[in-house]
Amino acid sequence: MTALDLSSPVAVVGTGTMGQGIAQVALVAGHPVRLYDAAPGLARKAADTIGSRLDRLVEKERLTADERDAARARLTPVDDLAGLAGCSLVVEAVVERLDVKQELFRALEDVVADDCLLATNTSSLSVTAIGGALRVPGRFVGLHFFNPAPLLPLVEVVSGFATDADAATRAYETARAWGKTPVSCADTPGFIVNRVARPFYAEAFAVYEMQGADPATVDAVLRESGGFRMGAFELTDLIGQDVNESVTHSVWQAFFQDVRFRPSLAQRRLVESGRLGRKTGRGWYDHREGAERPEPHTAGPAEPPAYVVAEGGLGPAAELLDLIREAGIEVREAEEDEGSRLVLPSGGQLVLADGQLSAEFGDVVHFDLALDYRKATRIAVSHAAHTSAGTVAQAVGLFQALGKKVSVIGDVPGMIVARTVARIIDLAVDAVAQGVATEEDVDTAMRLGVNYPLGPFEWSRRLGRGWARALLDEMHEVDPCGRYAPSLALHRYACATDQREDTP
């Protein structure tokens, strides 16, 4: 099954931001496009807005004037559903209510031919449930574009329980012909992106709720150490706290209140107070004119240690040994290669975040995971109340000598980046094991849909397939609420590697 022919008319129902964006994508690709909205006059207004956007594309030299004029000529607002007769694809982008969408598609079936592909842009409702109301449910599919649709490349092509394989393939190939990067996905709560991305927000909020760090510090560590484009607090302020919480709550409910997807009480209070982010002027941050942005916690200058003793290779943080040597600090190799840590002149230990608390040990400082320790500009460290001041100072001074800003946070198991990445990997592995998508499609979705620096499986290959399971095992022992218990799929994923390595 191939993509729709460019001569085939495409209809978009719902002319809000997403509807207009999807219509523009289809229009620029070369299709005749018909716009419909139940509210009188909105379809014509949306057509004018799209025309203005095409003008801007000409100004930016992304379209020629002739291409713009041809596109405008292909765009037709219609006053009723009957005007969509003869379309080969109808994409719905109306309010996120199951009854409204079901009623719309039942009405559309009385207008379009049985071979017309019907698609929903829903981000939170079940594609199966929407399509279940149809007379011909096999031609129904999810086409989940990301906002803004003309700019973001990802489209999740979602197959409901009754979706025919040919319909899904036709939708996939059409999205690709439109210049998008489609990924195939089974109908699961949150699809790929909104399912796998939940820990990015949840773990940041959890660190805040346990008073491990303030929002500005968490965001700075996620950006400057984890390599994420934005931190969780600033991103949800941009998205809208109400919107982000609604998606989280929807996924949590759809998974029968699975503790792994539990919403944040702190975010709930923010929504209840009307502090929804940029759109209301206040959220986690104050966005009002003249408001000062809070600075992340950054430790004052400290003297670096004269030397460190390396016990083990530091695993994912092995690159630090070269950086320490380049900074002129002596690296002594331990006689016994046990564990994976740095011993400081104070006698204290510097250990990569492993899911344990510093409080469980005598004189230990943990440091967080980084995407790239050479390029990272900030490193978080944590310690217990009883950790010696000398050990803390030497740990801070060591990273400062490597050119890093240092944020000292509370004694939080898994710290910030490490716990976030481990949980993202777990949900991704679990999704693949349940047939939601392939590893490649999950990685593509997370890189393109939410701008992650690496896909979950790319992270896992870099860190070692057993890394996430080991960290979450430790976190589950410290906090046995079930949220951090590694999934069965993650256990199998890690054990498969172990068995291959043990095979002679």
* Residue 184 annotated among the catalytic residues of the structure: no
Three-state helix/strand/coil letters over 287-351: CCCCCCCCCCCCCCCCCCCCEEEEECCCHHHCHHHHHHHHCCCEEEECCCCCCCEEECCCCCEEE
| pLDDT tens by residue, 346-368 | 999 999 999 999 999 999 999 99
Residue type, 90: V
Res 232: pLDDT:
98
Rounded Cα–Cα distance for residues 151 and 21 (Å): 9
Res 182: pLDDT:
98
SS3 32: coil
Rounded Cα–Cα distance for residues 117 and 168 (Å): 9
31, 109, 121, 123: which is the annotated catalytic residue? 123
Res 501: pLDDT:
47
CA distances from 463 to 107, 315, 468 (A): 51, 8, 8
Q: Which residues pair with 141 in a beta bridge?
A: 119
88, 121, 159, 194: which is the annotated catalytic residue? 194
144, 249, 297, 383: which is the annotated catalytic residue? 144
Res 239: pLDDT:
94
CA distances from 374 to 125, 134, 227, 321, 399 (A): 42, 55, 12, 11, 11
Radius of gyration (C-alpha) of the chain in whole angstroms: 26
* Residue 289 annotated among the catalytic residues of the structure: no
Res 503: pLDDT:
43
Res 496: pLDDT:
83
**Strand 181-186's sheet: what is its strand order?**
75-77, 33-36, 10-13, 89-92, 117-120, 140-145, 154-159, 181-186
* Residue 194 annotated among the catalytic residues of the structure: yes
Q: Which residues pair with 331 in a beta bridge?
A: 308
Write the DSSP assignment of 65-105 as a string of letters. HHHHHHHHHHEEE-SSGGGGTT-SEEEE---S-HHHHHHHH
Cβ–Cβ < 8 Å for 279, 240? yes
Res 399: pLDDT:
98
Cβ–Cβ < 8 Å for 240, 277? yes
Cβ–Cβ < 8 Å for 189, 254? yes
Res 497: pLDDT:
63
* Residue 244 annotated among the catalytic residues of the structure: no
Residue type, 405: K
| pLDDT tens by residue, 453-473 | 999 999 999 999 999 999 999
92, 109, 156, 224: which is the annotated catalytic residue? 156
Rounded Cα–Cα distance for residues 260 and 283 (Å): 24
Res 89: pLDDT:
98
Write the DSSP assignment of 39-66 as a string of letters. STTHHHHHHHHHHHHHHHHHHTTSS-HH
**H or E stretch at 117:** strand 117-120
Q: Over the chain (504 residues), what is each successive 10-residue block's mean pLDDT?
A: 92 96 97 96 96 96 95 96 97 95 96 96 94 95 96 97 97 98 97 97 98 98 98 97 95 96 97 97 96 96 96 92 97 80 96 96 96 98 97 98 98 98 98 98 97 98 96 97 97 78 44
| pLDDT tens by residue, 179-204 | 999 999 999 999 999 999 999 999 99
Cβ–Cβ < 8 Å for 475, 484? yes
